[in-house]
Chains A and B, each alone.
Chain A
């Protein structure tokens, strides 16, 4: 199993450009999330999904869009990149079992720089 795969690992964008960060999981997990990590602020939730076709906003959604057409894929789109979106982005997935939620599995992250 590959787990959670994020691409690309690094990206430099110019202000105003758009791009999509890809995220795919092969574990048939129902729940998926996107986080951004900034120094001193931990990881903050951007958008999340509770299943295919269902998404919702997290703590810091402005400037980002998501969709979840399949269980496996959860891309994050930056509509018009701004320097404030310079960050490390993580995709993560999780599931519920009879014993509850055992935590999220994370991708390896994307370091995005907006110049």
Chain B
């Protein structure tokens, strides 16, 4: 079974700083997807970024980028020029390619952006 670990329960940075959230996972699969989801205080789960394991190039979405290290089974999220609206819980998630398309989540990191 796959497991996802987020070792930072809480983080706090100043507005406009860059912050990196860590995620590691354990799997014997070779083909899979990795995701970062954001959950603001509204409770809504929002997809931030997606990475396909077979792609060596790191995914980027505006101020959000990932550092995907397949051999190390590491998938960190970097938020550049952080904004107050980035304050949220962030969840890392794993999905095996093929089969039932099940998402496995990490425990989450609570990120606070301070003015």
Of residues 65 through 115 on chain A, the ones whose CB sits less than 8 Å from some CB of chain B are 88, 90, 92, 94, 96, 100-106, 108-109
Determine whether the beta carbon of A40 is less than 8 Å from that of B9.
yes
Number of interface residues of B (CB under 8 A): 25
Q: How far is the CA of A103 from the CA of B91 in the complex (A)?
A: 13
Contacts of B47 in A (CB 8 A): 102-105
Who on chain A is nearest to B106 by CB?
A42
Could you tell me the dominant secondary structure of chain A's interface residues?
A: strand
Q: A102-B50, A103-B35, A109-B43 are in contact. Are A42 and B108 (CB under 8 A)?
A: yes
- Cβ 8 A contact of A101, one of B33, B42, B45, B107: B33
A91 to chain B: closest CB distance in Å? 11
Q: A31-B101, A103-B47, A108-B44 are in contact. List 12 more A-B contacts (CB 8 A).
A: A41-B107, A42-B105, A44-B105, A88-B43, A101-B33, A101-B95, A102-B47, A103-B50, A106-B44, A106-B45, A108-B43, A109-B45
Q: How far is the CA of A42 from the CA of B104 in the complex (A)?
A: 9
Determine whether the beta carbon of A48 is less than 8 Å from that of B33.
no
Q: A41-B107, A90-B45 are in contact. Are A100 and B102 (CB under 8 A)?
A: no
Q: A40-B9, A42-B91, A43-B91 are in contact. Are A104 and B103 (CB under 8 A)?
A: yes
24 contacts between A and B (CB under 8 A): A31-B100, A31-B101, A33-B103, A35-B105, A40-B107, A42-B4, A42-B91, A43-B103, A45-B102, A48-B102, A50-B101, A56-B100, A92-B103, A100-B33, A100-B52, A100-B97, A101-B101, A102-B50, A103-B33, A104-B47, A106-B44, A106-B45, A108-B44, A109-B45
Contacts of B35 in A (CB 8 A): 103
Residues of B within 8 A of A (CB): 4, 6, 9, 33, 35, 37, 42-45, 47, 50, 52, 91, 95, 97, 100-108
Most A C-beta atoms less than 10 A away, residue of B6, B42, B106, B107: B107
Q: Judge if A58 is at the interface, Cβ distance under 8 Å.
A: yes
Contacts of A101 in B (CB 8 A): 33, 95, 97, 101
